[in-house]
Amino acid sequence: MEIVFYIIASVLSGIIAGMGMGGGTFLIPVLTIFFSIQQQTAQGINLLAFLPTAVVSLIIHFKNKLVDLKVGTMIVCTGVVFSILGSLLATNLKSRVLQICFGVFLLIVGTMQTIFTIKNMVTKKSKSKKQQSKYKVVIGTNIDLYD
């Protein structure tokens, strides 16, 4: 029965990875919390799962012209160097310390994402109100054109 849960976790992780949001942000907590897998092992499993999903996702994003090679190359070169340092650090930290670091990282990213999303929604809403006013003047009515 456990295999079914591994498959469900991998399906959801693959979907999230395909959307470019990092399947590991889902897969690592699932493996550590629900399957009691050690943090370093969960990260290793995630890296193994990451390779094929990243290749497939990259091909699709590349075909849709959603890849900036100049920026991507710079990030890859720098990322490779520092991934060596990060891997050495991760393998030498206690599992609990690594879990806390990962959890804090997810909290920071989640908080930032929430703040930026709310900020963008407020900005779009105020732009929408300005746009409504323009239409009301042009049309000469006070009917709302937007929800």
As a whole number of angstroms, the distance between CA 107 and CA 96 comes to 16
Let me know if residue 76 belongs to a domain.
no
Let me know if residue 117 belongs to a domain.
yes
Let me know if residue 72 belongs to a domain.
no
Please check whether residues 57 and 104 belong to one and the same domain: no
* Number of structural domains found in the chain: 2
Let me know if residue 133 belongs to a domain.
yes
Let me know if residue 13 belongs to a domain.
yes
Quick: pLDDT tens for 65-93: 999 999 999 999 999 999 999 999 999 99
The closest alpha carbon to 21, from 86, 122, 110, 140, belongs to: 110
Please check whether residues 11 and 57 belong to one and the same domain: yes
Please check whether residues 56 and 12 belong to one and the same domain: yes
Expressed as residue numbers, the domain containing 52 is 1-67
Quick: pLDDT tens for 20-48: 677 788 899 999 999 999 999 999 999 89
- Predicted TM-score (pTM) of the model is 0.66
